[in-house]
């Protein structure tokens, strides 16, 4: 029962994150939402951190790495993610973020954390083909509606790349300082970096526009994903195998697509369905790997966007 509850929570949070973001960015400026969301989560993390009586002290040589992590996890990732969701569709975000493990794997190769495995070439190519179909669907919708769907999808790809970079760069830091300390310091640095952007965007905040969906979306993004999600995923890795976690959460993009259609009335075309199916299958096949290679996936579950 405990294992099932953990899996259901993770599937729920990951599946509904793009949908919650879509509702909330319609009522709160993406630039301000990023700070309000992660600023609140950072305060809560610091409270837990202090209650545990942990120290903020880190080696001087690690300061540049923490600055990079802070920049990646909040200012860079959130600007791309929230603006991408606003311009594109929640369903597109769900499919794009499903590629996070593959992006993290490729970045880890570039950082010499892993060696390229030829057996993973086919899943990678499948994912590229799937994303191509999704982008083709976006191009068609952009032409028809004269919107910026394709730009939103490009921003979402950059959001996934920045998130994957954070995961890859964070691995050694977590091993050295522990997940709670590494995340708390990185989030605190990222929140401080974001203050000038938030102050500049403050005139665009109008809380009087908030509706029930927007409030629920903010609660989901802030308390369930950015804060509670951390502790659940850290706890989950102790009791649920990585294989079970990755297999279960592969369902998330499908749930996102279904509920994007139900709740947001998003149009689901044949091109998008083909692209989503090929992408998800490619990601699923890529996760059959050795025990050492599963380290990247383990770190992926530290946080969700």
Is the pLDDT at 179 greater than 70, yes or no? yes
CB under 8 A, 24+ apart: contacts of 177-184: 177/58, 179/230, 179/234, 179/302, 180/45, 180/48, 180/49, 180/52, 180/54, 180/234, 181/49, 181/54, 181/56, 182/69, 183/45, 183/230, 183/302, 183/303, 184/42, 184/45, 184/46, 184/48, 184/49, 184/54
- Per DSSP, 1 falls in state -
**What's the rounded mean pLDDT across residues 117-128?**
76
Is the pLDDT at 302 greater than 50, yes or no? no
Is the pLDDT at 291 greater than 70, yes or no? no
Domain ranges of the chain: 2-300
**What's the rounded mean pLDDT across residues 126-148?**
76
Q: Mean of the per-residue pLDDT values for the chain?
A: 83
**Residues with Cβ < 8 Å from 219, sequence gap 6 or more?**
none
Residues 273 and 284: their CA atoms lie apart, in Å, by 16
Q: What is the pLDDT of residue 90?
A: 92
CB under 8 A, 24+ apart: contacts of 226-231: 226/37, 226/38, 226/40, 226/41, 226/303, 227/40, 227/41, 227/44, 227/45, 229/10, 229/13, 229/303, 229/304, 230/45, 230/179, 230/183, 230/302, 230/303
54-111: pLDDT as tens digits: 899 999 999 999 999 999 999 999 999 999 999 999 999 988 888 887 787 788 777 7
Q: What is the pLDDT of residue 161?
A: 92
Instruction: Yes or no: say if 26 and 211 are a contact pair by the CB < 8 Å rule.
Output: no
Q: What is the pLDDT of residue 10?
A: 82
Which residue has 């029930």 as its token pair?
212
- The region of weakest confidence among 127-141, 164-178, 260-274 is 127-141
Which residue has 């950072």 as its token pair?
42
**Confidence band for 40, pLDDT divided at 50, 70 and 90:** very high
Q: Which of 9, 36, 96, 74 is nearest to 221 (CA)?
A: 36
Cα atoms found within 13 Å of the Cα of residue 19, Cβ hemisphere only: 23
- Rounded to 10 degrees, the C-alpha dihedral 76/219/173/103 comes to -50
Residues 83 and 187: their CA atoms lie apart, in Å, by 20
Q: What is the pLDDT of residue 145?
A: 61
Residues 295 and 168: their CA atoms lie apart, in Å, by 10
Read off the tokens for 157. 């790809």
Is the pLDDT at 159 greater than 90, yes or no? yes
Q: Which residue has the higher pLDDT, 120 or 196?
A: 196
């Amino acid at each position: 029962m405990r294992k099932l509850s953990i899996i259901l929570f993770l599937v729920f949070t990951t599946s509904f994150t793009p949908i919650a973001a879509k509702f909330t960015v319609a009522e709160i400026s993406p630039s301000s939402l990023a700070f309000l969301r992660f600023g609140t989560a950072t305060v809560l993390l610091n409270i837990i951190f202090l209650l545990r009586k942990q120290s903020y002290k880190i080696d001087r040589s690690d300061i540049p790495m923490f600055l990079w992590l802070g920049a990646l996890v909040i200012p860079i990732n959130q600007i791309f993610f929230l603006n991408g969701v606003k311009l594109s569709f929640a369903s597109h975000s769900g499919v794009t973020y499903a590629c996070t493990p593959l992006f993290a794997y490729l970045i880890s190769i570039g950082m010499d954390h892993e060696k390229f495995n030829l057996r993973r070439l086919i899943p990678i190519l499948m994912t590229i083909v799937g994303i191509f179909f999704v982008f083709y669907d976006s191009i068609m919708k952009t032409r028809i509606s004269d919107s910026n769907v394709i730009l939103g999808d490009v921003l979402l790809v950059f959001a996934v790349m920045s998130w994957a970079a954070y995961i890859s760069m964070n691995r050694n830091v977590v091993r050295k300082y522990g997940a709670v300390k590494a995340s708390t310091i990185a989030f605190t640095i990222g929140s401080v970096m974001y203050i000038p952007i938030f102050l500049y965007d403050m005139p665009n905040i109008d809380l009087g526009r908030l509706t029930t969906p927007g409030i629920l979306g903010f609660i989901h993004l802030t308390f369930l994903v950015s804060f509670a999600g951390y502790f659940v995923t850290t706890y989950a890795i102790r009791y649920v195998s990585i294989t079970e976690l990755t297999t279960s959460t592969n369902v998330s993009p499908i749930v996102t697509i279904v509920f994007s259609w139900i709740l947001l009335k998003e149009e689901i075309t044949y091109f998008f369905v083909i692209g989503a199916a090929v992408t998800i299958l490619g990601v699923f096949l890529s996760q059959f790997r050795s025990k050492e290679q599963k380290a990247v996936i383990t770190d992926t579950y530290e946080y969700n966007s």
